[in-house]
Chains A and B, each alone.
Chain A
Amino acid sequence: MIIKIDNLTKCFGDFTAVDHITFSVGKGEIFGFLGANGAGKTTAMRMFCGLSKPTSGEGRVAGYDIAKQPEMVKKNIGYMSQKFSLYEDLKVWENIRLFAGIYGLDGKQISRKTDITLKRIGLMNEKNTLVKELPLGWKQKLAFSVAIFHEPKIVFLDEPTGGVDPIARRQFWEMIYEAAEKGITVFVTTHYMDEAEYCNRVSIMVDGRIKVLDTPGRLKDRFHAKNMDEVFRQLAR
């Protein structure tokens, strides 16, 4: 298991943001972590990534205890969010150099892998371009490549495709499948319910609890819904 979460809880004063959640995610799995705005997804994700200490409960991510070994967790995961992932005022190669360096890769390794990565995602010609000059879809491809550059066991994607057009979204999901095929576990949040259908399994969080967790196909059967949007709406309200 790459993620193993047991009764994890986070309280802020008398408000329980994450309320005794328990689940696990396997190697190479694409796991969708869904929920309405304010359901507690971000708080939970911050704990999984070793950025926030749980109030109670336990969790292991990439083999490390999220409360006791947060630094080891951070070293062994990748993270990308729509809100922040790259430095706009750095060039494409500089962003790769910076993040790979932070993860402890040496200079030689980095330069060799930079070209391979850029060729694969079709951005070789943009190596010296400032990130802020790239279209949003390209930035996202690059951000994802940067997030998995150090070959983590798992990558967390927090609303990676917000505001991206359908073509760029489909291409992005191909990259996710490619990574999963290589054995990287993908943990993703999204507000696009059609994207939930790309996941192997999804959970839906409501008011700090995981209300359901299953494959999209079985959830649709269970709620007699023709798509995940209907499942979501039945649960979230």
Chain B
Amino acid sequence: MKDDVTIINCQLINKAQALKDVSFEVKKGEIFGLIGPDGAGKTTLFRILTSLISADSGQATVDGLDVATDFRELRKHIGYMPGRFSLYQDLSVEENLQFFATIFNTTVEENYYLIQDIYKQIEPFKRRRAGKLSGGMKQKLALSCALIHKPVVLFLDEPTTGVDPVSRKEFWEMLKKLKTEGVTIVVSTPYMDEAQLCDRIALIQHGKILSVETPEKIIAGFPKKLYQAHSENNYLLLLEVRKNPEVKSAFMSGEYLHIVFNGEADETVPNLKEIGPSIEDCFVYLIEN
């Protein structure tokens, strides 16, 4: 199978946002998630792969094109939705879309089938200025603009931050549909329920990739038993549990505490119950150890 994105030893030395020996491959038609704490280097990586900045050393190809030397050709093959809303706020919905189609030498009509499910939802507002749209609608317009030239690979940097759960769900359904059209998607997100929807996830911290796995394998790889507990006052329980020398880590997680013990579980902790870890538990565990 031909690899759409191949990064080999891509290194960026840049005080705050260094990437160190980052290597991974993304397969055609994959939804590939980049997950990591703030400042881990995700946005830097997106910028290198979209040819907006160059790596200090190393090499990366996207759709067979070198990001450093073939960048002119590369830009026709990729769509990029940066984390910050970056459409023209003073142009209308329709004008933004036409603008992006024009600069890529295509027309809205030619690739309309690719965006129609998304665009139909914002079409009633097509004369509204982009700056006046709600959060969810902005994301839909930005995605439409990133897709209008039918890119082979789509890069999405935190596309759903600040978007409500219903719109997020719709957004991910669109991504799944694009995948069936053969579009490869590289996406970063702080939402762990979205991480679960990726085919594979790269966990990144301090500019290094900790693991590249399917969500199922990441969960199966959780090295300890995980327990939940709760009481009338979870905050006081948390402070109590943390004093227990048998406790390796303890965190609030919604209505419950999530606890990992060094050895055997301490049965005196109230309402203790073994549970299966979520992607979020795995993420927190990997980052902290």
Tell me the A residues contacting B by CB distance below 8 Å. 35-38, 82, 135-137, 159, 162-168, 170, 173-174, 177-178, 180-181, 191-198, 216-217, 229, 232-233, 236-237
Chain B residues in 8 Å Cβ range of A164: 38, 190
CA distance A191 to B135 in the complex (A): 12
B236 surroundings in chain A (CB, below 8 A): 181
In the complex, the answer to whether A232 meets B165 with C-beta atoms within 8 Å is yes
Say yes or no: A166 contacts B235, CB within 8 Å. Answer: no
Complex: A163 Cα to B42 Cα, angstroms: 13
Taking a contact as CB atoms closer than 8 A, the residue among A136, A168, A170, A232 that contacts B253 in the complex is A170
**CB-contacts of B218-250 with A (<8 A):** 233-236, 238
Q: Does B267 contact A (CB under 8 A)?
A: no
Given contacts A167-B288, A191-B162, 19 further A-B contacts (CB under 8 A): A35-B164, A37-B135, A37-B136, A37-B167, A163-B162, A165-B36, A167-B287, A168-B37, A168-B38, A174-B238, A180-B235, A181-B235, A181-B236, A194-B193, A194-B280, A197-B254, A197-B255, A198-B255, A229-B165
Compute how far the CA of A35 lies from the CA of B135 in the bound complex, rounded to whole angstroms. 13
B17-31: CB near A (< 8 Å → 1, else 0) gives 000000000000000
**Contact present for B161 and A162 (CB under 8 Å):** yes
Q: Return chain B residues, CB-CB under 8 Å to A194.
A: 192-193, 253-254, 280
Contact present for B165 and A165 (CB under 8 Å): no
Does B166 interact with chain A (Cβ within 8 Å)?
yes
Task: Tell me if B166 and A233 are in contact (CB < 8 A).
Answer: yes
- CB-CB < 8 A to A180: which residues of B? 235
Identify A163's interface contact among B158, B193, B234, B253, CB under 8 A.
B158
B252 near A177 with CB under 8 A, answer: yes
B119 interface hit (Cβ, 8 Å): no
Please report which residues of chain B, range 194-240, place their CB below 8 angstroms from some CB of chain A when the two chains form the complex: 233-236, 238
On chain B, which size bracket covers the interface? 35 or more
CB-defined contacts of B164 to chain A, threshold 8 Å: 35-37, 191, 236
CB <8 Å contact, A162 and B162:
yes
Asked whether, in the complex, the Cβ of A163 is within 8 Å of the Cβ of B167, the reply is: no
List, in ascending order, chain B residues with CB within 8 A of A229's CB: 165, 193
With contacts A165-B36, A166-B190, A181-B236 known, is A173 near B252, CB below 8 A? yes
Could you say which of A136, A170, A173, A177 contacts B38, with CB atoms under 8 Å apart?
Answer: A136
Query: Measured between C-beta atoms, what is the minimum distance from B49 to chain A in Å?
Result: 20
B34 to chain A, nearest CB (A): 12
What residues on B are CB-neighbors of A162 within 8 Å?
A: 161-162
A166 touches which of B83, B234, B284 (Cβ 8 Å): B284
**A166, B161: Cβ atoms closer than 8 Å:** no
Chain B, residue nearest A215 (CB)? B255
Q: Is A137 a contact partner of B38 (Cβ separation < 8 A)?
A: yes
Please give the distance in Å from B44's CB to the nearest CB on chain A.
14
Nearest A residue (CB) for B281: A166
Known A-B contacts A165-B36, A181-B236; the reply to A159 vs B252 at CB < 8 A is no
A sample of 6 inter-chain contacts (CB < 8 A) reads A135-B38, A166-B283, A166-B284, A177-B235, A178-B235, A198-B254
Chain A residue, CB-CB nearest to B38: A136
* Chain B residue at smallest Cβ distance from A227: B254
B163 adjacent to chain A (CB < 8 Å): yes
Nearest CB of A to B271, in Å: 13
- Kindly state the separation between the CA atoms of A20 and B158 in the bound complex, as whole angstroms: 36
Are B192 and A166 touching (Cβ within 8 A)? yes
In this assembly, does B64 line the interface, its C-beta being within 8 Å of a C-beta of chain A?
no
Once the chains are docked, how many angstroms separate the CA of A216 from the CA of B287? Answer: 29
A233 near B165 with CB under 8 A, answer yes
Q: Given A170-B251, A177-B234, is A165 in contact with B166 using a C-beta cutoff of 8 Å? A: no
A-B residue pairs, 6 tightest by C-beta? A197-B254, A177-B235, A165-B37, A36-B164, A163-B161, A136-B38
Give Cα A174 to B163, complex, Å.
Answer: 24
B113 interface hit (Cβ, 8 Å): no
Is A170 touching B252 in the complex (CB atoms < 8 A)? yes
Is B39's CB within 8 Å of the partner chain A?
yes
Name the one of A135, A168, A174, A191 contacting B165, with C-beta atoms under 8 angstroms: A191
Query: Residue B191 at the A interface, CB < 8 A?
Result: yes
Q: For B39, what are the chain A residues with a Cβ–Cβ distance below 8 Å?
A: 135-136
Closest partner residue, chain A, to B136 (CB atom): A37
**B162 and A36: CB pair below 8 A?**
no
Query: Which residue in B134, B190, B234 is a CB contact (below 8 Å) of A38?
Result: B134
Picked from B136, B162, B283, the residue with its CB within 8 Å of the CB of A82 is B162
